[in-house]
Amino acid sequence: MSTSGHHHVPIRHLLLALAVVLVWGTNFTVIRVALDELPPLLFATLRFLFALLPAAFFIRKPPVSWRSLAAYGMLIGVGQFGLLYIAMDGFISPGLASLVVQSQVFFTIVMAMIFGKEKLRPFQIVALALSTLGIVVIVEHGDASATLFGLFLTLLASMSWGVGNHVAKASGATNMLAFVVWASLFAVPPLFVAALVMEGWPAISGAILHAGPTAWAAVLWQSVGNTMFGYAAWGWLLARHPAAAITPTAMLVPIVGMATSALVLGEALPGWKIWAAVLVIGGLGLNVLWPLAARLPGFPWRRGAGA
């Protein structure tokens, strides 16, 4: 996995990266299961409430502006997860959601171009074209597992994620766990208000009273597993290794997402879904791996690689 020069990643660190990927990938199936018992916006509210409390009592507010925390909380809480949960509540299957939401990578690149004055490199254009083709395949074959509404919401969610990434980077935050915990303070109120308006108090109170152990386990999987463990472990790994040695493992997230949904929920995987996955993941792979390959001696396009 370590293509960055001769940097060696100990096997246990690689296993930790894979554990994070496993949590992030299975997450989509967990969301789908919980949505049988919890309305989407209430579910999102609970997820961020448990990410905030009790952790905020033990983790100091990071040395970043309240504005950055508020923007990130709104973008990730309402924009990414609020919209993703609504989309997954009957409008897009978990496997396809795990795939489409990865387009955040390209929204992140666009944000870097707009605000960071970074130039779009040729390999990024090809990567973007491949992933866009994958999304087009999904649109073409849109059935109950991917309605246009579900696809639109999931792309909006991934755009919010991409913009959120830019906010986090611009804030100068070094401890992502603390950043995410404190940003949750700004995700909970708007999500709860949205839940009250769109889902209504009877549905909210009914769901909280009647939700079984599976639904609560799913909420904890989201808040403790996904947020606490995921961000803490990922941040810990990135602090110890070059990003190039760790980030390629994240390309496995949609593969784990699709495989889990197929195994646990019986989501069908017709040929077009496989093709869509190959194109989207191919685009992601090119975007991550080309700069790594460009650093290797003897790379044919080394001069123009712009790595």
pLDDT reported for residue 4: 42
Give every CB contact of residue 132 below 8 A, 6+ residues apart in sequence: 283
Interatomic CA distance for residues 32 and 70, integer angstroms: 28
Both tokens of residue 190? Answer: 């708007």
Separation of CA 113 from chain center: 21
pLDDT reported for residue 190: 98
Question: pLDDT tens-digit profile of 198-219?
Answer: 999 999 999 999 999 999 999 9
- What is the number of other CB atoms lying within 10 angstroms of the CB of residue 85? 27
Give every CB contact of residue 263 below 8 A, 6+ residues apart in sequence: none
Preceding amide of 54 cis, omega within 30: yes
Unique residue bearing structure tokens 């769901």: 207
In contact, 150 and 91? CB cutoff 8 Å:
yes
pLDDT reported for residue 306: 45
pLDDT reported for residue 39: 97
- The count of residues in the chain is 307
Q: Is pLDDT above 60 for 6?
A: no
Question: pLDDT tens-digit profile of 230-267?
Answer: 888 888 888 888 777 787 888 889 999 999 999 999 99
Q: Please give, one letter per residue, the 3-state secondary structure of 267-282.
A: CCCCHHHHHHHHHHHH
> CA angle, corner 278, sides to 164 and 14, nearest 5?
65
Q: How is residue 146 annotated by DSSP?
A: B
Give every CB contact of residue 72 below 8 A, 6+ residues apart in sequence: 164, 167, 168, 171, 179, 180, 183, 186
Q: What is the mean pLDDT of residues 134-153?
A: 86
**Between 155 and 249, residue with greater pLDDT:** 155
Q: What is the mean pLDDT of residues 106-118?
A: 80
- % of the chain exceeding 70 in pLDDT: 95
